């Protein structure tokens, strides 16, 4: 269960966009927050258009200032500066999560350009790909500035892959602490709105594809019903839904329809950022919704 949150900061307002989420979750379930800055070897003078912290004493002063913000009133906040310059920031963050006995890493997804640029494409993505610790991603959208994070309504997309059900165990424990409702979602696209691996079959065998997808629905209903009943044994409130849309669209729309304040997805921890990126809808979701996205590594 989550007891400690690790929040990497580089001195930029972009990275600081995760702070309200960290404070809200810490207060919700009474856990500690560790603010960390890793001194980067040959670091650029500016990052995201702002001065980059390059000296340990400056980083220490900065983290102490952040720890003293009003949002962290009544929160146990610790700070840590890794003062030996390193080249691989993402590996250092992952290593510190183990060294400092952290349970989750909280990071923003991308830069002000709205593209999956260097922050997500390099650091957050690689931390996820290392795969030993859950990563909570926050979209630093202007829409999030005044949001209040209650963590009362979780959306858990499932695709029938039992590996991905790892997220269920994590989500159910977190839901108990937060007294949150769990909403289970499975997407079974109709003919004409499929993407990914099913696209060729959809194009050349439309009738067969349509029939196949329609036949999946009753089995999926049973699958979700069994999971719902299992979770309800733990006194959790659970709903289920099957969307006939493309998974990416289904997840984004469902999150909006139910006012989800957290999306939880199990993801395979493959080596290398390209392995994580290939075929994954996670990056698309992360840049298309302002709902925090919690990725739970699935390790075989």
Q: Which residues pair with 110 in a beta bridge?
A: none
pLDDT digits (tens, 9 = 90+) for 51-101: 667 788 989 999 999 999 999 999 999 999 988 777 777 888 888 898 999
Q: In this structure, are residues 205 and 177 in contact, taking their beta carbons and an 8 Å threshold?
A: no
Position 190 confidence tier, pLDDT thresholds 50, 70, 90: confident
Task: Tell me if 117 sits within 8 A of 147, measured CB to CB.
Answer: no
Indicate yes or no: pTM above 0.95.
Answer: no
Selected residue with higher pLDDT from 27 and 267: 27
Report the phi/psi class of residue 111: left, alpha or beta, with left for phi > 0 and alpha for psi in -120 to 50: beta
Report pLDDT digits (tens) over 271-291.
Answer: 444 444 444 677 778 878 889
- Top pLDDT among 102 and 192 is at 102
Q: Is 270 a residue whose pLDDT tops 60?
A: no
Which residues, at least 6 apart from 136, have a Cβ–Cβ distance to it below 8 Å? 5, 18, 21, 25, 104, 105, 106, 107, 292, 293, 294, 295
Across the range 114-129, mean pLDDT stands at 56
Domain 153-260 CATH (choose: 3.40.50.10470, 3.40.50.620, 3.40.50.20, 3.75.10.20): 3.40.50.620
Q: How many CA atoms lie within 13 A of 192 on its CB side?
A: 0
Centre a 10 Å sphere on the Cβ of residue 103 and count the other Cβ atoms it contains.
15
DSSP assigned state of 134: -
Radius of gyration of the chain (CA): 20
CATH of the domain spanning 4-144: 3.40.50.620
Does 153-260 match 4-144 at the fold level? yes
pLDDT at position 264 over 70: yes
Q: pLDDT at residue 266 above 70?
A: yes
d(CA 124, CA 277): 12
Domain ranges of the chain: 4-144, 153-260
Helix count and strand count (H, E) for the chain:
12, 12
Determine the pLDDT at residue 179. 94
């Amino acid at each position: 269960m989550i007891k400690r949150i690790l929040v990497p900061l580089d001195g930029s307002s972009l990275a600081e966009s995760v702070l309200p989420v960290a404070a809200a979750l810490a207060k919700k379930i009474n856990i500690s927050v560790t603010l960390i800055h890793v001194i980067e070897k040959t670091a650029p003078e500016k990052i995201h258009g702002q001065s980059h912290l390059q000296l340990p004493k400056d980083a220490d002063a900065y983290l102490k200032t952040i720890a003293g913000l009003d949002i962290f009133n009544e929160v146990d906040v610790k700070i840590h500066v890794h003062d030996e310059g390193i080249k691989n920031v993402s590996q250092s963050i992952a290593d510190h999560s183990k060294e400092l006995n952290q349970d989750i890493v909280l990071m923003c997804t991308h830069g002000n350009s709205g593209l999956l640029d260097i922050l997500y494409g390099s650091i957050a993505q690689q931390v996820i790909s290392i795969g030993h610790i859950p990563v909570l991603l926050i979209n630093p959208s202007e829409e999030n500035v005044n949001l209040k994070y209650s963590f009362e309504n979780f959306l858990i997309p499932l695709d029938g892959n039992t590996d991905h059900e790892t997220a269920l165990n994590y989500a159910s424990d977190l839901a108990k602490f937060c007294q949150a409702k769990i909403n289970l979602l499975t997407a079974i696209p109709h003919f004409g709105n499929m993407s990914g691996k099913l696209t060729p079959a959809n194009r050349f065998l439309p009738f067969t594809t349509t029939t196949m997808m329609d036949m999946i629905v009753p089995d999926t209903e049973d699958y979700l019903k069994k999971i719902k009943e299992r979770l309800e044994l733990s006194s959790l409130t659970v709903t289920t839904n099957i969307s006939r849309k493309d998974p990416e669209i289904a997840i984004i729309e469902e999150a909006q329809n139910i006012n989800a304040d957290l999306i939880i997805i199990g993801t395979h921890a493959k080596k290398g950022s390209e392995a994580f990126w290939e075929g994954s809808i996670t990056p698309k979701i992360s840049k298309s919704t302002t709902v925090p996205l919690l990725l739970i590594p699935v390790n075989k």
